[in-house]
Structure formats: C-alpha cells, structure tokens
Amino acid sequence: EAQVTQNPRYLITVTGKKLTVTCSQNMNHEYMSWYRQDPGLGLRQIYYSMNVEVTDKGDVPEGYKVSRKEKRNFPLILESPSPNQTSLYFCASSWSRKSYNEQFFGPGTRLTVL
Amino acid sequence: AQSVSQHNHHVILSEAASLELGCNYSYGGTVNLFWYVQYPGQHFQLLLKYFSGDPLVKGIKGFEAEFIKSKFSFNLRKPSVQWSDTAEYFCAVSGGGADGLTFGKGTHLIIQP
C-alpha cells in the first residue's frame, strides 16, 4: 500500500531532550516536506527536500533540523525541544516539486514538550 | 510570499444543507489550487485540485470548486452535506516560485444530524 508513515504518533518529552521524528514514504517520491499544525494557524511548512541531500527552510525552520540521506526517509530532528514546539507535525511527499503535484500526508505526530 | 485566506473559521450546518467555503489567495501569477480535508483523527485527504483547464473542478464525495481568476478565489461547494462531512477543510496554493504548499488556516465544519 502506498503510504507515508511517521513515528512516533504521540510523544511527550521534556525541554532540552533531543528527539527525532521519522518519516518514510514508499512511493519513490522526490519531494518531501514537514509541516506543523497549530490551532488557528493552519499548517506551516518547516523544511522541505527536493531530493536526496537537497533540503531547504520553509516558513518556520527555527529549532528544527532535517536530513535526506535516502530518498524514502526524511527525519525531523529537534536538538533541544522547547514548549513552543508542542504541536501536531505532518510529513508529506509528492512526485516532484512541480506545483501541480498532490502531496500525500502521513498520519501525524502529536508532540508535547513539558 | 503567497497567502491564503479562508473566510470562515467555524461553520455549523444541518444535514442536507448546501455548503460553500470561501478561499482567496494573494499571488497573481500561475497557481495551482487544492482543497484538502482533515478528518477527526487527523488523516488528510485531497478533495480536488485545479491546475489548468475548466475552472469548475469536480472532486470526490460530491465536492466541487470554482476557480475565479479575477477574484483570486477558489471556493469549495457541496449541494447537500452529510454528517460524515464533519471535518476541517484546508485550501492550499502552490506556484509562483514558492516550493511546497501554502495553506489557509482552515475551516472547521460541523454537520448536525
């Protein structure tokens, strides 16, 4: 089944404790992206990747890192999480960066930073 | 930078009522437009998209949207809603040199039986 998977789905952590949220897609998509969803703010793009070893900042990159060593994986790294990073995170992928491509979303990761 | 405005943050309708959710975007060049739905439990699904051709786009589950370039709008419509349409609806835009999607803030739709 074609899908985007994220792990973990739920995570509660404490300020300053490094964490990684994994994202994997099995559709051979070139383009992958991370968003955060906050009440009243919709979805905002954190980072995106147009292909292996090519990443770039989105609208709200502060406090996050990403890597794209393999085409299928695009982990989101929080080196020193803070409470303002408590949010719902979505990974998405599409065939390419072409703007008409539909993005496929993962199931979401709900992160709470205490 | 692009921006997307969704006019209604919360909408409550009765079953069988007609629905129209507004969406306006800021960029004046070539754009691609999408409506996504997020069901309770967080799962996203693409309802429809426009990238060229007929400005009236038909999507899944009886939804349609009309692209009106002169008004920078892409409103979502459904003639008769069902309880199962309760969800959050997001308009999104891509194009204009920006990578990825720019989302509106969403409209929370509640359908009462």
pLDDT tens string A7-16: 999 999 999 9
Residues 46-85 on B with a CB inside 8 Å of A are 46, 49, 51
| Average pLDDT over every residue of B87-112 | 86
Closest in B42, B94, B103 to A88, CB measured: B42
Q: What is the 3-state secondary structure (H, E, C) of B12-75?
A: EEECCCCEEECEEECCCCCEEEEEEEECCCCCEEEEEEECCCCCEEECHHHCEEEEEHHHCEEE
The model's pLDDT over A87-108, given as tens digits with 9 standing for 90+, comes to 999 999 998 766 667 889 999 9
Tell me: pLDDT of B38 over 70.
yes
Closest in B9, B94, B100 to A58, CB measured: B100
pLDDT band at B97 (very low <50, low <70, confident <90, very high): low
Q: What is the C-alpha separation between A83 and A23, in angstroms, rounded?
A: 22
Phi, psi of A81 (to 5 degrees): -60, 145
**Residue A70 neighbours by CB under 8 Å, 6+ apart:** A52
| Average pLDDT over every residue of A66-81 | 97
